[in-house]
Chain A
Amino acid sequence: MSGDTSYIGKPVRRKEDRRMIQGLATYVEDVDLPGLHHVAILRSPFAHARIDGIRREAALAFEGVVDVITGEDTTHIGTVPRSTVLPEEVNSPRTPVLAEGKVRFAGEPVAAVVATSKEAARDALELVEVDYDPLPVASEPEAALADGAPVLHEGIDDNLAFDWTLAGGELTWGDARERADRVIEQRLVHQRLAPIAMEPRGVVARFDPGTEETTLWTSTQIPHFVRTFVAIMLSIPETKLRVIAPDVGGGFGSKLNVYREEALLCFLARRTGKPVKWIERRSENFQSTIHGRGQTGDVQVAVTSDGKILGIHYDVLADLGAYHQLLTPAMPAITGLMLSGAYAIPHITIHVRGVFTNRMSTDAYRGAGRPEATYVVERVADLVAAELDMDPVELRQRNFPSEFPYETATGLTYDSGDYVKALNKAIEVGEYAGLRAQQAEARAEGRLVGIGLSSYVEICALGPSSAMPSGGFGWDSATVQVHPTGSVSVLTGVSPHGQGQETSFAQIAADKLGLDLDQVEVKHGDTHAVQYGVGTFGSRGIAVGGVALYRALEQVIDKATRLAAALLETEADQVRFEGGVFHGPDGALAFGEVAFAAHVAKDLPPGFEPGLRATAFYEPENFTFPFGTHLCVVEVDPELGTIDIQRFLAVDDCGKVVNPMLVDGQIHGGIAQGLGQALLERVVYDDAGQLLTGTLMDYAVPKAHQLPRFQTERTETPSPVNPLGAKGVGEAGTIGATPAVVNAVVDALRPLGVRHLDMPLTPDRIWTAIQAAERSKVGAR
């Protein structure tokens, strides 16, 4: 850096806010076009059924309806894509945009109605008659693997998408077991979750018959990918498809996907000649936007009596749902890669069976495989500490890697870290010793107080293309366009949806160029305006997209310096750029003066290219590995089974920070989702594959009064991977928080003999566990 950091590191208020707090933002539903028609989608009420026939005449006759299509009309549209290379071998049946002869989950699209108003489209749905012949249902993975289970996809008789093992380390599992003093076992359940972005998905498509170009507005985290994959699905040139992600109302991974409706609306716009809009209803969002988690596993941990973990063996069933979405199989693979957690563990095995079930697909939800890994490792740490009667802090300290970079048994190289420092900060700021003393007093009074820790590490800044579980696309891009007046447009390939990159990227550019923040505008999310990019996910915005920007800024400064030198009649190495001014030995030029000269081009040296613009494509050399320790204190009410979170402290290390206000915001929101999984949230299907948690009344998104105030602290260990030293922060809160809460609650109930509880820790589960523990005590007397 130039040393001039007037914006980087400061809590700069967001540029985005002006429009958002005044109702001036544009989300997909706000896109209005002349002659706009509306699409409603008929979805299967059955989890598994043959479609014997569909009659659309009555719907077509309904006033305002212009078209009704079914799976027969869309067989030429390619499958919804799956982009994964881990696991290596995956059964990959076709994911059709509309069901073709059979439905495989409740909510699967069966028909689409186009009408002049959304009311007419919705009303006409009820007039589409479908003859379903219900089939037996495999709702749970165990049911799908049972003998004689119903087969979802022809040719995949065992309902297995993959059976994958990753094993590595300096010891074998056999050696680790042999050297261990004990092997501790536990079944762990990562319940299905619904991401629930507050803005449901939405798609608008317009076909221009003159240019033969389709414009697709969609609420997505990955507009460029959507363009590529929808073009492939529809067999149209990418040049004829423009994808725009306007303001996007939250994603959390649920919009890191290519969805049936995106291709369907493009097809309908062309077929009807009308611009068409589909806005997902919340009930559709629950049924047919991807879910997260959905793993059930048996963990074994080999450990010495002095608390050294020698090996982890994890055998998992992954509930994939009925079809692959973009990254469905990669989720448990990421869990496997991250199973070393924050520890030096000489052996790790993960064995995953990915199972097709009659449910919506699972895919990336905030954390995407890492929360599962962290939950396994951090529950293991507390299970081991409890069994050895060792303090959980000490157990963790004994197992941290001693130096970095550290290569895990799963083959990852942790870039940098100081796990001891983050843990120590948590126990110092949290006054851990005092908390334990208070806990002892509370226990003496019969109160159920618990303290939980979670020392996590996560894989971020996804990542080097060669190592991406999605099979490439690990880079990102930025263009710095300097205008003649010296103001600057930054075109970023990442596509933010709440992270505030219009501000943080402007901070980077303004600092580097010595400009005011309002001289920089950050543009994103329009494939016709921005060079190809990858997107915002995997906590990669700053650490990949921001670094691409940094590189592009360097190129611009390099060119401007050469021009300034010519104008100042000196050599480039005699020119120093500082605070937005090029200083030569005998004079100086402001950045704006050089920008103007570059465009006027009257005084350019011979052969000097006019203009001032640079594009950089940045390919990281490694992932980054943010880490931290979360500390949670709870008191459980034994009469009600309710949990009072008395304290939540997060110490996070995301490397160098561009905007601490935005970082805290990411941590807060992440913790809220982590607490949501620990305490409240669960997608429930019944044995018939019916979604029982299909509304916000039934699915418990955390509300303001259910959350405590979080205390956030940081340590700062720069990443050596990139020049910004940034590691990424978008998912850390979710990854770190969940096990800290569960560990705290289990710790609270430990005097009763409780060693584990499955999430979500609802009052009825807690109460039942307390009653069972007390009954067994009475029985033992």
Chain B
Amino acid sequence: MEITVSVNGKPERRDVEPRLLLCYFLRDVLGLTGTHVGCETSLCGACTVLVDGKAVKSCTRLAVQCDGQEVTTIEGLARNGELHPMQAAFREHHGLQCGFCTPGMILAAVDLVDSGEARDETAVRHGLEGNLCRCTGYQNIVTAVLEAAGSSS
């Protein structure tokens, strides 16, 4: 099937198999390997991207479902060489160690803040429960998200 998806602001027109998952469309077709695949069952959240601004687990969405939609991956978050405040906050607060969950975690957090749900620590922790991290114990991630939420409000 032929689809056109806007990825990080650039229209991508491709002929894809209907069964192709969005995560593999991004990784294998477009070469955007910042989107990581950790479980293929939408349980770990490593593959989270933004579709029309909302956090979506790209391992359980078909590429063809995204025809006509806008996808933002971790590669598209920094603008004009400037880190997105969430990226900067993750670095500042040591919100990552091995880095594998990080792209999905950052994009889930961006959606959380943009949708006004990052009200306090409890809300952030619940808001991120679909994204697993095995390294950090989440503490510095939560701190980073709260800081980014504060600076964007």
A interface residues (Cβ-Cβ under 8 A, vs B): 11, 13-14, 16-27, 29-30, 32, 119, 196-200, 247-250, 252, 279, 281-282, 497-500, 661-662, 664-665, 668-673, 695-697, 701-707, 709-710, 733
Contacts and interface: CB of A to CB of B under 8 A. Distances in A.
Contacts of A196: 134
Interface in B121-153: 121-122, 124-126, 128-129, 131-142
B41 A696 contact: yes
A281 B41 CA distance: 10
Which residue, of B39, B91, B94, B100, has the highest number of chain A Cβ atoms within 10 A?
A: B100
B35 A497 contact: no
A499 to B, nearest CB: 7
Given A20-B102, A199-B98, A733-B137, 4 more contacts: A30-B33, A282-B44, A703-B138, A705-B128
Contact of A22 (B27, B35, B36, B74): B74
A672 B136 CA distance: 8
B96 interface: yes
Contacts of A119: 17, 19
B46 to A, nearest CB: 6
B41 A249 contact: no
A249 to B, nearest CB: 3
Interface string B19-42: 100000001000111111111110
B96 A17 contact: yes
B52 interface: no
A574 B70 CA distance: 67
A198 B33 contact: no
Nearest to A674: B137
B136 A197 contact: no
Nearest to A699: B43
B58 interface: no
22 contacts: A13-B91, A20-B99, A21-B87, A21-B90, A21-B99, A22-B87, A198-B98, A199-B36, A199-B100, A247-B98, A249-B98, A282-B40, A498-B99, A668-B137, A668-B140, A672-B134, A672-B137, A704-B124, A704-B128, A705-B128, A707-B138, A709-B142
Nearest to A671: B137
Nearest to B141: A704
Nearest to A25: B99
Given A27-B36, A696-B43, A696-B132, A710 B96 contact: no
Q: State the 9 A-B residue pairs at the shortest beta-carbon distance, nearest first.
A: A23-B34, A249-B100, A498-B98, A20-B99, A672-B137, A23-B74, A668-B137, A498-B97, A696-B43
A29 B103 CA distance: 15
B39 A21 contact: no
B33 A29 contact: yes
A217 to B, nearest CB: 14
Nearest to A195: B134
A23 B75 contact: yes
A497 B73 CA distance: 23
Contacts of B132: 198, 696, 701, 703
A250 B137 CA distance: 13
Contacts of B46: 198
Interface of B: 17, 19, 27, 31-41, 43-44, 46, 73-75, 77-78, 83, 87, 90-92, 94, 96-103, 106, 121-122, 124-126, 128-129, 131-142
B97 to A, nearest CB: 4
Contacts of B92: 13
Nearest to B123: A705
Contact of B44 (A23, A696, A710, A733): A696
A37 to B, nearest CB: 14
Which residue, of A23, A30, A252, A709, has the highest number of chain B Cβ atoms within 10 A?
A: A23
A704 B94 contact: no
A282 B41 contact: yes
Given A27-B36, A669-B137, A696-B43, A704 B100 contact: no
Contacts of A665: 94, 97, 135-136, 140
Given A197-B98, A705-B125, A17 B90 contact: yes
A279 B46 CA distance: 15
A500 B136 CA distance: 12
Contact of B135 (A13, A669, A696, A705): A669
B129 A198 contact: no
Contacts of A669: 97, 134-137
Contact of B121 (A29, A30, A282, A709): A709
Contacts of A247: 98-99
Which residue, of B37, B38, B44, B106, has the highest number of chain A Cβ atoms within 10 A?
A: B38
A64 to B, nearest CB: 13
Which residue, of A497, A696, A710, has the highest number of chain B Cβ atoms within 10 A?
A: A696
Nearest to A737: B137
B38 A250 contact: no
Contacts of B129: 703-706
Contacts of A281: 40
Nearest to B121: A709
Given A198-B134, A695-B43, A709-B139, A23 B100 contact: no
A704 B138 contact: yes
Which residue, of B101, B138, B141, has the highest number of chain A Cβ atoms within 10 A?
A: B138
Nearest to B86: A21
Contact of B94 (A14, A32, A696): A14
A705 B100 contact: no
B56 to A, nearest CB: 16
